[in-house]
Structure 1
Amino acid sequence: MNTSLDVLENEIPGPFDAPQWPHLAPRSTYMSVAVLMGTVVLLASFVNGLVIVVSIRYKKLRSPLNYILLNLALADMLVTIFGSTISFSNNINGYFVFGKAVCEFEGFMVSLTGIVGLWSLAILAFERYIVVCKPMGDFRFQQRHAVIGCAFTWVWSLIWTTPPLFGWCSYVPEGLRTSCGPNWYTGGTNNNTYIMALFVTCFVMPLSMILFSYASLLVTLRAVAAQQKESETTQRAEREVTRMVIAMVMAFLICWLPYASFAVVVATNKDIVLHPTLASMPSYFSKTATVYNPIIYVFMNKQFRNCLLTMMCCGQNPFATEEETSATTSSGRTDVTMVSDGGGNKVTPA
């Protein structure tokens, strides 16, 4: 495959030796990416840090659902520490200042924790499907199931992110050469087979689970709403859940579809030409998921939000209604909106 990076390869210093500007892109491009990464580091550290602190402080939040949310926050925090922070420093300097060993470590850690985050979203969606749609009858999703689900995300991710450390593909500087990831740039059967395997097992599979689970959830909720046409609460809940599901799916696609698509297109088309800046953008853009994942999946969670406001306001939530206060102090599962289907079941998006 020929890329702009390949053409310039013999004309620019190595990615670990000296600034890559103006050979690959203007210095302003590197500074712009540094600003983006700096913003992501600050916001992601703050919001995910809040999720972790609140989850540890309030025992009432230790429900099966919240174990998965905490796993997601931990994964996002690690992406921020080992990915966004290093990328921020590298873009300020214009090259990968920490050397080849750290490059490989960064590529591995970001891939590992990023895939943990992706599969956490899939497990979260599947948990909602089991609880709401009841495909297994009276089966109850309990703490041990959540722990198994969280363990699965790490084991599965390890299975698919360790091969580049042992020769099946590799972790190399990406695009602007200020971050590292799987080598989907240089082609070859070794790299291409790994990229395609990674695409199927760590993007297509979790995305399929998310789409199936939330589609089933919406169908169930619409059926409930149809039975309770005169209930404004039910109709409002349907609209709220629909908006939330759309936000969840769109956020997933916006973050990860460009990165996955670029990797597959380049891996299957050896003659494509990509500018280094364009080749880098999907990787940096995917890191922004660490900011709005907790906003969509956690802060829109009524019980968690009440605990957060209570903590920040020194023990009292000044914005809580009587219903929300009751929900916060209860030991039940975390819900954004609950609607009875008339048979004792409750429909809830997250």
Structure 2
Amino acid sequence: MRGNRHVEFPDDFWIPIPLDTNNITSLSPYLVPQDHLGNPWIFYSMSAFMFFLFVAGTIINTLTVACTVQYKKLRSHLNYILVNLAVANLLVSTVGSFTCFYCFAFRYMILGPLGCKIEGFTAAVGGMVSLWSLAVIAFERWLVVCKPLGNFSFRPNHAIACCALTWVFALCAAVPPLVGWSRYIPEGMQCSCAPDWYTTDNKFNNESYVMYLFGFCFAVPFSTIIFCYSQLLFMLKAAAKAQAESASTQKAEKEVTKMVVVMVLGFLVCWMPYASFALWVVNNRGQPFDLRLATIPSCFSKASTVYNPVIYILLNKQFRSCLRKMLGMSSEDEDDSTTSHSVTEVSKVRPA
């Protein structure tokens, strides 16, 4: 898809215009199916995929919240953060994924400019809360396991404060496009909405907003995750080396290493496509690109509503045990120990 001639666009959308098209309104993503961007089967396939994310994400995250409400033993500081993650995922799946499913079925942003702003803002808030929650989880693990502050105890009120902070950070990222710093417009195949990565219109200062998002909403949390988990791994390896004869310590070290790798990969799968695409567009203005490929980052970010709970919640033995009991799938008391508990036990071992 190419857009290599100057065209004056409305303030509420931007699309690559074919060279022989003079009437922009005739291609408005709010008025007509965007069949000029791809075959209908692409739209219908995306609609089916978004429907899957809507159903799976809503079910998994609703069960997470319900399970925490039902079982008091799950109301620990770490699980408060996991529930915060689940609530953010619910926001994305019920509004973002459902809206995309509906619009892809019609092959255009049938909900209009207002619906676009609502979907873009909601998905941005939920996505940013999810992103910062992952950073908070890493920070909490670092404080609890590595004990950089000595005997400082990370309590539920600290977890609640951190959860509130994730929503403040999310609003700092999602509100600006509503008040003139960038804007929410249809992206990719024009059936979902996001901040404007595409244009350099000085009216909206899009480039500065993209760099702000990359620095504050990607680089900072990603650096936090890498630092905290790397410190955790170094400490565990030192403890495992000091207790080479201990099978339980060695097992815990291997389990946590695998868990950390999966968590970091999950973060990268979710947010690296968006960050890379936005930076590429900003640094390659005027270069042609296929809008079908530009849809991929949105797919990965919305898919996180399904795989994040699997990584952070369903791999938690205590959560998994309570969930099975709530669903009537287990009649026996299962081992309530979690990997995080194992990590805490290992942290008590001080290498010589």
Give the TM-score normalised by the residue count of structure 1.
0.91
Aligned to 1:173, the other structure's residue is in SS state strand
Residue 13 of structure 1: CA displacement? 2.3
The counterpart of 1:156, out of the listed 166, 169, 176, is 169
AA at the equivalent of 1:213? C
Residue deviations 1:169-210, cap 9 Å, x none? 000000111000000012235100001101110011110000
AA at the equivalent of 1:46? I
Residue 341 of structure 1: CA displacement? 4.1
Residue 214 of structure 1: CA displacement? 0.6
Contact 2:128 2:173 in 1 (8 A): no
Q: What aligned pairs does 1:1-350 form with structure 2 within 5 A after superposition?
A: 3=3, 5-8=15-18, 10=23, 12-21=26-35, 23-189=36-202, 190-313=205-328, 316-318=330-332, 320-321=333-334, 324-325=335-336, 327=337, 335=340, 337-338=342-343, 340-341=345-346, 343=348
| Greater Cα shift, 301-310 or 113-122 | 301-310
Counterparts of 2:114 and 2:238, CA distance in 1: 55
Contact 1:304 1:334 in 2 (8 A): no
Same amino acid, percent of matched pairs: 44
Residue deviations 1:278-318, cap 9 Å, x none? 1111112210000010110011111111111111127x544
Aligned to 1:222, the other structure's residue is in SS state helix
Counterparts of 2:343 and 2:216, CA distance in 1: 33
AA at the equivalent of 1:51? T
Residue 161 of structure 1: CA displacement? 1.2
Counterparts of 2:129 and 2:325, CA distance in 1: 30
Residue deviations 1:44-80, cap 9 Å, x none? 1111111011011111111111110000000000001
Residue 3 of structure 1: CA displacement? 4.1
Give the TM-score normalised by the residue count of structure 2.
0.90
Counterparts of 2:169 and 2:348, CA distance in 1: 37
Counterparts of 1:45 and 1:341, CA distance in 2: 35
Residue 337 of structure 1: CA displacement? 3.0
Counterparts of 2:29 and 2:50, CA distance in 1: 19
Residue 39 of structure 1: CA displacement? 1.1
Counterparts of 1:46 and 1:296, CA distance in 2: 16
Is the alpha carbon distance of 1:156 and 1:40 closer, same or farther for their aligned partners in structure 2, counting shifts above 3 Å?
same
Instruction: Name structure 2 gaps, 5 residues minimum.
Output: 5-14
Aligned to 2:340, the other structure's residue is in SS state coil
Counterparts of 1:78 and 1:343, CA distance in 2: 38
* Total equivalences in the alignment: 333
Residue 6 of structure 1: CA displacement? 2.1
Residue 334 of structure 1: CA displacement? 8.1
| Greater Cα shift, 166-175 or 10-19 | 10-19
Counterparts of 1:3 and 1:307, CA distance in 2: 54
Residue 114 of structure 1: CA displacement? 0.4
Root-mean-square deviation (CA, aligned residues, Å) is: 1.9
Structure 2 match to 1:348? none
Q: Which has the higher contact order (CA 8 A, sep 6+)?
A: 1
Counterparts of 1:258 and 1:213, CA distance in 2: 23
| Greater Cα shift, 183-192 or 37-46 | 183-192
Instruction: Name structure 1 gaps, 5 residues minimum.
Output: 328-332, 346-350
Counterparts of 2:111 and 2:244, CA distance in 1: 61
Residue 269 of structure 1: CA displacement? 1.9
Aligned to 2:185, the other structure's residue is in SS state strand
Counterparts of 1:342 and 1:110, CA distance in 2: 38
